[in-house]
Amino acid sequence: MRINFNLYNYQGTFQGKRNNRQKQKAYNAEPLSEFSVNKYALVPSKKLMKGINANSSNVFDTFAKIDDVTRSINFVKDSESWEQCLLEEIEEFKVARIEYELDNTPQNFDHMAEEMGDIFYTAASMAKNSNIDPLEAFKSTNRKFYNRVNLMERMSPIPLKDCKDHERRALWNAAKRKLYDAQAKLYIQQLDTTI
């Protein structure tokens, strides 16, 4: 079955096994006369997305609500499908970035940004599928980078911006090792106190 929709007037055409009642219902769908075509436009909600503000600044809260809706309609993937989906989104971003580099119009930039958003959304869905809170995971990564860069700066005899690439990489790996060792030591101390 193939379904073709024109988003801007919401009139659909169906090919495949559909009875006349289903076809008529699709053709009688409400037109989107209020829908303005811009990057912040929202199709008016019917039932599933009622009460969700997709333009909210609390993106992780909004993501959780939208993701719950997509799961309620069985739009859920197994772990292998999530990985494939993420790779596809990365490829789409690469294509959009090349298009923007060749012709840096606002439309191409918006497309590139949208594809990056798809990567974020898919990664957050993968996290949620593994019982990981995406916000907490992102906070953890922020702390990790914050600590590593601070430690790199403390270990470097010269300003980091003046280091050569291989020196920066060596400092990064050394900071990573030191922080990992410190965390492992703390973990062992916690185990000793609980035994």
pLDDT at 11 (0 to 100): 44
Alpha carbons 194 and 1: distance in angstroms, whole number: 60
Residue 41 is which amino acid?
Answer: A
**Average pLDDT over all residues of the chain:** 79
- Categorize the per-residue pLDDT at 154 as very low, low, confident or very high, splitting at 50, 70 and 90: very high
Task: Specify the pLDDT at position 52.
Answer: 84
So what's the pLDDT on residue 111?
A: 93
Taking alpha carbons only, the member of 172, 183, 112 closest to residue 148 is: 172
- Is the pLDDT higher at 152 or at 23? 152
What pLDDT, in 10s, does the model give residues 49-94? 888 888 778 888 888 888 888 877 877 666 668 888 899 999 999 9
What tokens were used for 2? Answer: 């193939």
Cβ contact 13:4 at 8 Å: yes
Rounded to whole angstroms, the Cα distance separating 178 from 168 reads 15
pLDDT attached to residue 174? 93
**Predicted confidence (pLDDT) per residue in 119-142, tens digit:** 999 999 889 888 999 999 999 999
pLDDT reported for residue 64: 85
Instruction: State the residue for tokens 């989107």.
Output: 32
pTM more than 0.85: no
DSSP characters for 116-161?
HHHHHHHHHHHHHHTT--HHHHHHHHHHHHHHHHHHHHHH-SS-GG
pLDDT of 88 reads 94
- How far out from the chain centre does Cα 74 lie? 19
